[in-house]
Amino acid sequence: MSAFATERAVAIDAVLQASKICKTVFNTLVTSDTLVKKDKSPVTIADFSAQAVANTLIYKVFPNDQIVGEESSEDLKGDSGKEMRDKVLSLANSVLETPLSEQELLEVIDRGTYAGGSTGRMWTIDPIDGTLGFLSGEKGQFAVGISLIIDGVVHLSVIGCPNYPVDFKNPEGEKGVAFIAVKGQGAFQRKYSSTEETPIHMAEISSTSEARALGSLEADNADHDEHGKIASLLEMTKEPLRMHSMCRYCAVCRGDANIFIRLPYNVNYEEKIWDHAPGSLLVAETGGVVTNMDGEPLNFTLGRTFGKPNKGFVIAHSNIHAQVLEAVQKVMYNK
């Protein structure tokens, strides 16, 4: 049996079950009225339910491991949290073999409140990455991401993208893809509908002029101007691929796009490790490099975040990463 085979199987199961809950929530709780009112409660319910399921499945097999999750149970407690608590409990129990009690639900969600650190085994769980993508339906991209970090190094990652096309060239075809990586073992993708896995690699391009970048979906996003300047320096002319969530890591890692840059417009915002740990290993195992804007590797030993100041992220194939990083630094540091 290969290293981390059990962890790999548990993480895949957790991602698939959490994804199932997310789809159920969207189909039953997201309505046109919800969207008009910009009501985020369905996302909150899906977040809690998916984290409860993922934490339960991981804790069952690895009870001594720590978990860094996005949610805590505070908003589900007491009379004020009863309505949401009941919905979350029902959703979580709909996919778990052994039903949770109310108290067990709160406890298992709070297993994700570990503070992080530089030693030991810890899992990161992002139950829904990409709120707007989740709320926008079948065409919107959101992800469920899980990673295992040991002594500050990411050893395993699974990212589930329920709405992502199995074949990017056929966007109206089958959707639902899980991306899997184990350190030193390469990276793979599988359809939600099948256990068969196929290896994936970043697309090797000889020049940045051939590259397609990933961009933000928000038309008024402040980074469009800087991204345009970076693209100009790199002689890139292809229209960016725009989507939400860590699905963007997956898009680069299987060659649907080539460059993913996340610029740090709010230097005081602390990026969360659960948003980037799964994708960083996927990139490394498909021929790419992830650094911050200073060219430093990502540091997962600082706690639940990367700390301040926010230095953004630069992701590209190893053949072009240095060139992309140079262009980013030229635009961002020579204002």
Catalytic positions, please? 47, 131
The Cα–Cα gap between 35 and 38 comes to: 5
CA 4 – CA 285 distance, rounded (Å): 15
Cβ-based neighbour number of residue 105 at 10 Å? 22
> CA-CA distance, 28 to 294, in Å (whole number)?
44
Burial class (CB in 10 A: 0-12, 13-18, 19+), 29: middle
280 sits in which H/E element: helix 277-284
**Total residue count of the chain as it appears in this document:** 335
Both tokens of 16, joined, read 């698939």
Contacts of residue 74, Cβ cutoff 8 Å, sequence gap at least 6: none
Token pair for 6:
């059990």
Closest by CA to 187, choosing from 134, 254, 138, 127, is 254
Single out the residue of 307, 303, 278, 304 nearest to residue 292, CA to CA. 307
126 marked as binding residue: yes
Q: What per-residue string of b and e applies to 160-179 under the rule 16 or more CB within 10 Å gives b?
A: bbbbbbbeeeeeeeebbbbb
**Binding site annotation covers 70?**
yes
- Phi and psi for 316 in degrees, rounded to 5? -165, 170
Has 151 been labeled as part of a binding site?
Answer: no
Binding residues for Mg(2+): 70, 126, 128-129, 275
